[in-house]
Structures are given as structure tokens and as C-alpha cells.
Amino acid sequence: MKIRLSIVLLAAYSATLLSTAATQPPALTIYNDGFGVVRQTLPLDLQPGENKLSFSGVTAHLEPQSVLLRDPSGQSRIAILEQSYRADPISQGLLLSHFEGQEIQFQRFSSEPGEPTLVTGRIIRSGYQPHYSAMSRYGNQYAQRQRSMASQGGGQPVIEIDGKIQFGLPGQPLFPSLPDDSILKPTLDWILHSENAARTEAQLSYLTSGLAWQADYNIFALEGSDKVEVVGWITMDNQTGTSFQDAKIKLIAGDVNRVQADADQVYELSPFTVAESVRASPQIEEKSFDEYHLYSLPRPTTLLDRETKQVEFLRAKDVAAPVTYVYDGAFINPMRYRGWDSTAIRQDEAFGTESNPKVWIIREIENSEENGLGIALPKGKTRFYRQDDDGQLEFTGENAIDHTAKKETLKIYTGNAFDLVGERNRTDYQLDRRSYVNEAFEIVVKNRKEAPVVIRVVEHLYRWSNWEIQENSQPYEKVDADTIAFEVELPADSERKVSYKVHYTW
């Protein structure tokens, strides 16, 4: 990345101009919540007293309050007397806004051969929408107003020619020369003070929005097998308005708080560690950093403005991912019970009696070394594919996983089973408002496949925390304080009934 530096010496010193290139490529640390840290090296040649410096290699979404300019070697002390950030570079729209109410010339080109013609028009409205920062105090509200204005025609130029008004430009606008303080790129201006003459490699760092990353997983299964291949991708997105050539890129995760000024919202990122499984070489390196985790890409990467780039970070084969079928038949409509207290809910006769017939398909992947993984996985979207007997891969479902620690089990819902059905009905209900409720249910699960299956029937004991199962047609597992589950074995093309009675007291 080319850097243009100009130092104008003030007070008793004569003005000098220094043009140079960056001594090192930029370095980026990207967080997966839409922001990042940019670091660039600026060679400085300072004279005693005040020095004026301009740098035009920053992003369009820089946070001015976060800027740090320092000598990392500690050999020179840089005092910043003033700092200005200008993020509205010269453009056609901006120049039109500068000349609102004035006349300029427009160049018209004809489809016929010949010289273009010039017409004079007065700019009634430029239609220019100024740049805004996504992190500014009123950025989101301002953006909404601007989009609304544009959709209603406010973003269109209005030009008067020969006493008549028209929407849109009548041709290519021709402007007078640029003013001396015009900028072509977002720019930082400083007035620096140095006690002594110094040549140093200063480090500029700042926070910027417009950078993000996320993890994605493609999971491939062979026909007739529960073994899968897992391929993990890191996807980086650059919407900063600036391109980064041959950048050293790191990714960071951890509970890093960010306060958004217009809503006082807190951004949260969760910790994870990088995969140590089979993957493409060279590897992404991970290390602990303060209370967070840092991930370094193994080679310099160019990340252009408005570019989405992917890097493979995980490839694991022969990972066992058996399918589990779950029938969780109770349906609780939260809108129905909004504003109800616990007493009213537990004594409502209809509570917990709505149901659905769908049987879920759950993929269970043990995150262990024995299963080909044994790593901590970052949150992201998972996409499942299965190979048909003709060798073609077919998409079979997707979902998202949260950060998953080593030795934990991923349970990923991928859809509903077509040939498995559940029915759930209440068969008994007795209420004593002073002390108890008795309730009984009957669940029927049906297997219309040509192969045997096991369906896990899950029941939630919603009414109260004190409960006792008084009757049950088969053994159950207590999953947690208010959940039980039955493992129901079903031969091919069969159905089976499960029943239980629960006694609640308070």
C-alpha cells in the first residue's frame, strides 16, 4: 500500500515535503462482530517543535477517538497537539453539493459523430448523501433517513436549464479546479510536537467498523454411512472503503465488549481455540492473548474493499455423526401466556396440551480426538450433504452451532423426518387449586421406514418444579429438573405407544 506523507514545519522552520512508501505491509486484527483493528507503519522525519502530517491511507469507517500514533521502540516521544479526520473524499456528488445554487457547464455527447456540446445549468439540488460512520452517535438513524430520502426521490439531482427544471444530470458536469483543502481519500491530519529532531518508524493503529469474519462448516456423508467429512472455512469481509495489500491478518475471539453510542448496546464475542485436526498446509496458528484467543493466518493476504475472502482452517475425515430421531411433541405458544404469572399458568387446563406431529432429525457429533476432532469449534453455520448412489452430493439441511468446547457433543437439527410421525394426547387431568395437579399423556410414534429406528420421546414437565411420575409404560431418563425422555425402539413399518402420569404439588 502506498503512503503519501507531507510534513510542513511551522514556527521558525521552512516547509519541506516528504513522499515515501510504507516500510511494512498493513496488519489487521478482525473481530467477528463487524469491526477490527488496523495497524500501519509510518516513517516520520520530525524537526524540533511543531510538525504537520497528513496520511490518506485510512478507512472510511475509522473511529477517530481510537487512533494511536506512537513510536513502539520508545526512542522518541510524539505529542499530538491536534488531530482531524476527514472521511468525505471528493466525488461528483460532493462537488455538486458545493455548487448548489450556482451555474456550471455540462458536457453532452451525441450518438452522431461530432464534437460534444456544452449546456449551462443551475444546480437546484445536488441529491448528495453525505458519508456517515456506522459507529457515529446518530449513524443508524441518519442512515435510515438518508435511505428514506433516496427512495422518495430526494437522492436525485435537480437541474434548471433555460428556466425549466429537470431531474437527473443533463450531461457530464464540468467543475472548476479543486480547492486546496480537497481530499481524494479519507485522511488523518495531525499537528505533532517533537522536542528534538527524530527519524522513527511510528505505528498507527485504530479501530474501524466494516471488518468481520465468521466460521462455516460443510459436512459430507457417504450413502449408507454415518461417517462424515468436516471442512471448516473462515470467511472474512471487508466493507471499510479501503483495500489492504499483502496484509498480516489475525482473527480474535473472546468476550470483548463494544458500546454502540446511539443505543448503548454491548457486542459480545465468545472464546474458542483453533482446530488441530487434519487441515490444509500451512496451518492457521492459535495462541492465548490476554483473556482472549488470537488466530494468525499463515501467509500475507490481500483483502480488497468490498471483498469476501475464504480460508480453509479445518479438514477432518471419518468423523462419526450418527442420526438421532427426536419427538418433542408438546408445543407452548409464548404469545398465549404473555403477562401470566406462574400460578395462573400452572392452573390453566389447556397449558401444554397443544402438539405437533414432526419428528426431528438430529446429527450428533462427539467433539473428541477419538472421533477425529478433539478441538474447540467456533460458532458458525453448518451445511450437510449426502452422497447418493449415483455419486452426486445432495444438500440435506443446515443449522448453526454455538462455540463448542473440546469433549462436548454437537447436536445439530437438520430437518424433519418424512417417514416418522408422532401423536401426543392428554388422557387425564385433575386439578386441586390449593395443592396439586394430576396429568396423564399418551404418545404414539410411527415408523413408516423399511428399516428399524429408535425415536427419543422428550416430555417437558412444565406445570411446576415439584413433580413425581406415578405411572409410566416403560423406563424413562430424567434429563434435567423438568424434562424426561423415553427411548422407543420401532421395527420397520410399525408404531408404538408410550404413556405416563405425573403428579405436581405446591
* pLDDT tens, residue by residue, 39-58: 999 888 888 889 888 888 88
**pLDDT at 184 (0 to 100):** 65
In a domain, 498, yes or no: yes
- Give the C-alpha separation, 381 to 106, whole Å: 51
- Rounded to whole angstroms, how far apart are CA atoms 5 and 202? 12
For residue 396, tell me if it sits in a domain. Answer: no
> Which has more confidence, 285 or 372?
372
Do the domain assignments include residue 398? no
Are 351 and 497 members of one domain?
A: yes
Cα angle vertex 185, ends 184, 191, to 5°?
100
* Confidence at 292, pLDDT banded by 50, 70, 90: low
In terms of Cα–Cα distance, which of 67, 64, 65, 14 is closest to 39? 67
∠ CA 374-376-377, rounded to 5°: 115
Please tell me the predicted confidence (pLDDT) of residue 464: 86
Does residue 298 belong to any structural domain of this protein?
A: yes
Q: What percent of the chain has pLDDT over 90?
A: 35
Q: How far is CA 459 from the centre of its chain?
A: 35
- Classified as helix, coil or strand, 322 is coil
454 is a domain residue: yes
Residues 294 and 252 in one domain: yes
299 lies in the same domain as 445? no
Could you say which DSSP state residue 26 is in? -
Residues 154 and 84 in one domain: no
Rounded average pLDDT over 180-198:
78
Residue 240 and residue 205 in one domain = no
Of 130-139, 360-369, 444-453, least confident by mean pLDDT is 130-139
- The answer to whether residue 280 scores a pLDDT higher than 50 is no
Domain limit, last residue, from 174, 199, 234? 174
Tell me the Ramachandran region of residue 87: left when phi exceeds 0, alpha when psi lies from -120 to 50, beta otherwise.
alpha
The C-alpha cell of 49 is what? 517543535
Q: Do both 348 and 276 map to the same domain? A: no
| Position with higher pLDDT, 260 vs 242 | 242
* pLDDT for position 60: 86
359 and 435 housed in the same domain: yes
pLDDT value for 259: 57
Report whether pLDDT(299) > 90.
no
Output the average pLDDT for the chain. 80
C-alpha cell read off for 401: 452451532
Is the pTM higher than 0.75? The answer reads: no
Q: Which of the given ranges, 6-15, 41-50, 150-159, has the highest pLDDT on average?
A: 41-50
Residue 5 has pLDDT above 70, yes or no: no
Q: Is the peptide bond before 282 cis (omega within 30 degrees of 0)?
A: yes
Q: 162, 193, 209 — which closes off a domain?
A: 209
377 part of a folded domain: no
Q: How many whole angstroms from its chain centre is CA 354?
A: 36
Q: Which of 174, 201, 231 is the last residue of a domain?
A: 174
Stretch 338-356: mean pLDDT, rounded?
80
Residue 101 burial (10 A CB sphere; 0-12, 13-18, 19+) = exposed
> From start to end of 47-163, where are the E strands?
49-55, 68-70, 79-86, 103-108, 117-125, 158-161
One domain, residues 132 and 33? no
CATH at residue 355: 2.60.220
Domain that holds residue 308: 211-319
In a domain, 446, yes or no: yes
Q: Are residues 338 and 291 in the same domain?
A: no
**pLDDT score recorded for residue 493:** 94
344 lies in the same domain as 420 = yes
Question: Closest by alpha carbon to 493, among 429, 419, 436?
Answer: 419
Report, as an integer, the average pLDDT of 220-241. Answer: 87
> Per-residue pLDDT averaged across 358-376, rounded?
89
Distance CA 359, CA 491 (A): 16
31 and 119 both lie in a single domain: no
**Lowest mean pLDDT: which of 73-82, 129-138, 344-353, 453-462?**
129-138
Could you tell me how many helices (H) and strands (E) the chain has, helices first?
A: 3, 33
Strands 323-327 and 453-460, how do they pair? parallel
Same domain, 35 and 110: no
Contacts of 20 (CB under 8 A, 6+ apart): 3, 5, 43
384 domain-assigned: no
Q: For the chain, how many structural domains are there in total? A: 4
For residue 298, pLDDT over 60 is answered with: yes
